[in-house]
Every structure is written in structure tokens, then in C-alpha cells.
């Protein structure tokens, strides 16, 4: 990486062989030793380390910003990159930082105007360069994350719907198979609300058992992914409690119809059922 910000004018004019490594590079090359005054080679060209860059951590794209080496721009062109002398001022990219976020729009306009002047572009000609603002990149990332969240929510909703229909079908079959049992319970004094409560509890229990299995599978999957892909995964307790709550809600919602059907059975007809 090259830069003209961290070096003096003499370094730029004289194309001196000096370098500023990032924290990651310094630790890799020198360990805990002081890198100042050490010699390093970049494309077989020796450079003297004159300092160390402050740690910046990862960028928005997950790139290690400390895994860099800064050298004077003139040195890079003449002794490292091998840019043709026919166009010695060519650069591939320029990074600019505004003093305040409120000045981004003004800074973009000024940069665009300067670049159009330097590129000798006429008013009717389009830009032959591109300007990217990190705030716009972050906004695009947030929009992508929002769409992904909605997609996952839709998938989860379909899964809950399918699971709820499955629970309702199981409970309807259970009511049909236990019709005589229901009639017998009513004959010995069980009220409709007792039958309703019984089948609601069974539906919720069935739903919660499925929820526990799903939560266990999710926790196990997160551990496996973290181990194999070396990703950092974190499961919040609130998410587990919310999963339990949704499982119980699905059991109540989809189990109510079979429970209501069982509670409304005529005891005499239920006892006669074959």
C-alpha cells in the first residue's frame, strides 16, 4: 500500500526507501521487538522502517487494516510498482477522510470537481472515475441485512405454519381415536372445559417438545459451524425464551380447534362410537 500522508516532502521528492508497517505486519516480521530502524524487502527492494502505524482493526468488509505497509508514493512508482515514466502521476485509488460526517456531501462535490479538471473532462462528458462513500456502502449493507432478515422471517413463518398444521392433524386424529374415552370421561362428570384444557395441554406439550428439539439442534449447529468454519457465533438467552414462547403459541393456536371439537362431543354419541 502506498501513501503520501505519513511521510515528509523530502521523502516524496527524493523517493526514499522508508516504510511504515501496520501492527499485524510488525508482529509477523519482528514479534515483540521494536521495528524502528529494521530493514524489510518489498519486491526485493530494501526499505528502512521508520515507525509503526496505529492499530485500526478490521474494516467494514472484514479486512485487516493493520496488515499493510505504507511507503512514499513516489518511491512506489519509481522503485516498486514500475509505473511507466510516460505517466508517472497515475494512481489507482485515493482514500480521503472528511473532518465531519456533515461535510461528506461537500467533500464529494469538491473531489469530483477536482478530478474532472485533472482528467480534462468536458461538461457533457461522463466521469471516467468512481467515488464511493462509506456511508452509502453501510446503507447498502444494512438494506441487504434487512432483506435477509425478512427472508429468514418468512422461512421461519412457513416452518411454523407447517409445524402447526402437523400438530392440528395429530390432535384431530387423537380426538377421533379417543372418542369413546372422551365420552366416558364426560359420563363420569368431566365438563367441556376439562376436555378442552386436556387437549390444549397435550397440544402445547407436543409443540414444546418440538421446540426443545429445534433449540437443541440450533445450539449444536452453531457449535459445529463455529468449530468447522471458525466463525464466532453467539446465541442470546432472549432468543431461546422467544423460541419457547412461539412454540407454546403455536400449540395453543393450532391445538384449539381439535380441543374444541373434543369438548363439544355428545357423551352418548361418543360412547356409541366404534
Over residues 18-69, the pLDDT tens digits come to 888 888 888 888 888 888 888 888 888 899 898 888 888 776 566 778 888 8
Enumerate the β-bridge partners of residue 42. 45
Tell whether 89 and 100 lie within a shared domain: no
* pLDDT band for position 165 (cuts 50, 70, 90): very high
Q: How far is CA 202 from CA 198, 209, 212, in A?
A: 6, 11, 15
Tell whether 170 and 250 lie within a shared domain: yes
Whether residue 2 is predicted with pLDDT greater than 60 in this model: the reply is no
Q: What are the tens digits of pLDDT across the range 245-260?
A: 888 898 899 999 999 9
Q: How many domains does the structure of the chain reveal?
A: 3
Tell whether 268 and 177 lie within a shared domain: yes
Tell which of 73, 93, 113 closes a domain.
Answer: 93
Q: What residues contact 42, with CB distance under 8 A and at least 6 apart?
A: 19, 69, 71, 80
Tell whether 157 and 266 lie within a shared domain: yes
Tell whether 148 and 267 lie within a shared domain: yes
Question: Residue written as cell 461538461?
Answer: 123
What is residue 18's three-state secondary structure?
Answer: strand
Determine the length of the chain. Answer: 274
Tell whether 12 and 117 lie within a shared domain: no
User: Residue 86's pLDDT is what?
Assistant: 42
CB 183 within 8 A of CB 265: yes
What is residue 115's three-state secondary structure?
Answer: helix
Tell whether 86 and 101 lie within a shared domain: no
User: Residue 85's pLDDT is what?
Assistant: 46
User: Residue 88's pLDDT is what?
Assistant: 52
Tell whether 30 and 2 lie within a shared domain: yes
Tell whether 154 and 266 lie within a shared domain: yes
Lowest mean pLDDT among 70-74, 95-99, 149-153: 95-99
Tell whether 15 and 57 lie within a shared domain: yes
Q: Are strands 69-70 and 18-21 parallel, antiparallel or unpaired?
A: antiparallel
User: Residue 189's pLDDT is what?
Assistant: 86
Tell whether 71 and 20 lie within a shared domain: yes
Enumerate the β-bridge partners of residue 40. 47
Tell whether 62 and 89 lie within a shared domain: yes
Q: Name the residue range of residue 65's domain.
A: 1-93
Amino acid at each position: 500500500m502506498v501513501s503520501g500522508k505519513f511521510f515528509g516532502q523530502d521523502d516524496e521528492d527524493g523517493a526514499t526507501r522508508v516504510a511504515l508497517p501496520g501492527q499485524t505486519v510488525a508482529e509477523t516480521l519482528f514479534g515483540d521487538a521494536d521495528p524502528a530502524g529494521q530493514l524489510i524487502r518489498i519486491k526485493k527492494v530494501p526499505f528502512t522502517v521508520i515507525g509503526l502505524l496505529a492499530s485500526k482493526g478490521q474494516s467494514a468488509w472484514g479486512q485487516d487494516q493493520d496488515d499493510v505497509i505504507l511507503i512514499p508514493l513516489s518511491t512506489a512508482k519509481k522503485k516498486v510498482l514500475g509505473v511507466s515514466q510516460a505517466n508517472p502521476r497515475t494512481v489507482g485509488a485515493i482514500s480521503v477522510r472528511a473532518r465531519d460526517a456533515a461535510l461528506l456531501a461537500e467533500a464529494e462535490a469538491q473531489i469530483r470537481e477536482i478530478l474532472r479538471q485533472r482528467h480534462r473532462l468536458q461538461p457533457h462528458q461522463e466521469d471516467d472515475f468512481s467515488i464511493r462513500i462509506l456511508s452509502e456502502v453501510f446503507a447498502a449493507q444494512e438494506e441487504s441485512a434487512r432483506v435477509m432478515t425478512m427472508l429468514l422471517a418468512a422461512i421461519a413463518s412457513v416452518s411454523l405454519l407447517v409445524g402447526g398444521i402437523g400438530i392440528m392433524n395429530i390432535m384431530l386424529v387423537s380426538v377421533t381415536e379417543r372418542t369413546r374415552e372422551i365420552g366416558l370421561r364426560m359420563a363420569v362428570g368431566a365438563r367441556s372445559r376439562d376436555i378442552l384444557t386436556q387437549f390444549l395441554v397435550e397440544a402445547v406439550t407436543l409443540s414444546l417438545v418440538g421446540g426443545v428439539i429445534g433449540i437443541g439442534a440450533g445450539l449444536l449447529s452453531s457449535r459445529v459451524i463455529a468449530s468447522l468454519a471458525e466463525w464466532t457465533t453467539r446465541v442470546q438467552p432472549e432468543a431461546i425464551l422467544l423460541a419457547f414462547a412461539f412454540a407454546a403459541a403455536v400449540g395453543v393456536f393450532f391445538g384449539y380447534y381439535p380441543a374444541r371439537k373434543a369438548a363439544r362431543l355428545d357423551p352418548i354419541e361418543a360412547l356409541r362410537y366404534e
